[in-house]
Structure 1
Amino acid sequence: MYKIFAKLLEENGVTPYQVSKATGVAQSSLSDWKNGKSKPKFEKMKKIADYFGVSVDYLMYGEEKNSQQELSSIYLSFAKDAQQNKIDPEDIRLAIETIKALRAKQQED
């Protein structure tokens, strides 16, 4: 996996330090990843993938997977985050309804 990260660094002309500063992923995490001491958690990989404008699948495997799988991973990540922050399903339903109402209002304007 780090080989793909290194390739992206080279292609984009950036350093691990710059990626660390831009994403908030600690340089020590990147170093541990490089040295095989650890693998980054999904949230960190998502930040790095977003920084480079690629999917997490690309960052992990060097190829794009099914976009439906990518969406499922994103939604699962949000669900885990909501659960960890004690956000219940009713709060999520309310947030979705609020977003729908705001979008509908924007379309009217």
Structure 2
Amino acid sequence: MTFGEKLYKLRKEKGLSQEALAEKLHTSRQAISKWENGQGYPETEKLIMLGNIFGVSMDYLLKDTVEPSNDKEAGYYVNKEMAEGYLMSAHKISKYMALGFFLIALSTIPYFIFKQDPAMYMIPTIIFATIGIGMFVTVSFLEEDQYKVLKTESLLFDEKYLNELTIRYENLEKKHRVINLVGMCLFVAGLIALGINRKYITSDFLVPYYPLCIGAIAIGIYIIVRTSNLLDAYKLLAKNEVHTNSFGFKIRRKVRKKVDDI
């Protein structure tokens, strides 16, 4: 079976038109047609992408074998466009998630300002909490299915782009280390101030400052959640071997393999 025949067979089994496959490969329908008619071969990057799309090995695509091999131990190839799209998505998700935690933390402030009058603090508390929860719901819509595979497979990159990603991750880590420290300090300072007043100070000396303490906690949470999620996204790509060598990843992979076998 020739490469063109295999490509045609795989495309039909997947239920893809030539236009749909061309869109996934970022090429033209005419190119797909030429490959299927034996008038040429795609470049290496496109071959790897075809293997990812159809779940077959490069050997199956290029050699004169009939049975496809589903051996994907080598990894899932990620091109620059997909990686950058995932990082843009991670920026949005980290922002909305951090805002959700921030607003929920802030929703407790009206109580301390208007605690003598429930009618005054209930409405703003509900508003802040509802918007905060809405942020979490938004995150579920922002997570795109096409990027889920990045968390479940060993990833392969163009060497030049991987070096670029690694440098960006290391620079971001240095920058966010300081920002994250500020967030931790604000969070801990707010908690300590609340805890000390409740446990060790009998007077209400710090009570008027509770809104400020909670504000510090909320800002700290925002910074920590935002920076941590963003760094995790970069680390998933730039330091993928750390992710794939983790105990949790290996367990998840074994479970998926057993489910596939069943």
Give yes or no for contact 2:56–2:72 (8 Å, CA) kept in 1.
no
Which of residues 96, 100, 103 is equivalent to 2:239? 96
- The size of the alignment, in residue pairs, is 97
2:69 paired residue number: 64
Tell me by how many angstroms 1:86 deviates: 9.0
Give yes or no for the alignment of 1:40 onto 2:42: yes
Tell me by how many angstroms 1:29 deviates: 2.0
Which whole-Å deviations, capped at 9, do the CAs of 1:33-90 have from their partners, x for residues lacking one?
A: 233332111210111221122222222334429767xx29x6xx73xx224x5938x8
Give yes or no for contact 2:18–2:32 (8 Å, CA) kept in 1.
yes
Q: Which runs of 4+ in 1 moved over 4 A?
A: 65-68
2:26 paired residue number: 24
Identity %: 23
Q: Partners in 2 of 1:30 and 1:46 — Cα distance?
A: 15
Which of residues 51, 55, 72 is equivalent to 1:53? 55
Q: Which amino acid aligns with 2:48?
A: K
Bigger Rg, which one? 2
Tell me by how many angstroms 1:22 deviates: 2.4
Q: Partners in 1 of 2:25 and 2:163 — Cα distance?
A: 25
Q: Partners in 2 of 1:28 and 1:56 — Cα distance?
A: 22
Give yes or no for the alignment of 1:82 onto 2:159: yes
Q: Which runs of 5+ in 2 are unaligned?
A: 78-155, 171-237, 250-262
Q: Which runs of 5+ in 1 are unaligned?
A: none
Which of residues 3, 6, 21 is equivalent to 1:4? 6
Give yes or no for contact 2:57–2:71 (8 Å, CA) kept in 1.
no
Q: Partners in 2 of 1:14 and 1:96 — Cα distance?
A: 34
Give yes or no for contact 1:23–1:47 (8 Å, CA) kept in 2.
yes
Q: What SS does the aligned partner of 1:87 have?
A: helix
Distance 1:21 1:65, change over 3 A: closer
Q: CA RMSD in A?
A: 4.1
Q: Partners in 2 of 1:66 and 1:59 — Cα distance?
A: 13
Q: Partners in 2 of 1:50 and 1:42 — Cα distance?
A: 13
TM-score normalized by the length of structure 2: 0.29
Give yes or no for contact 2:56–2:71 (8 Å, CA) kept in 1.
no
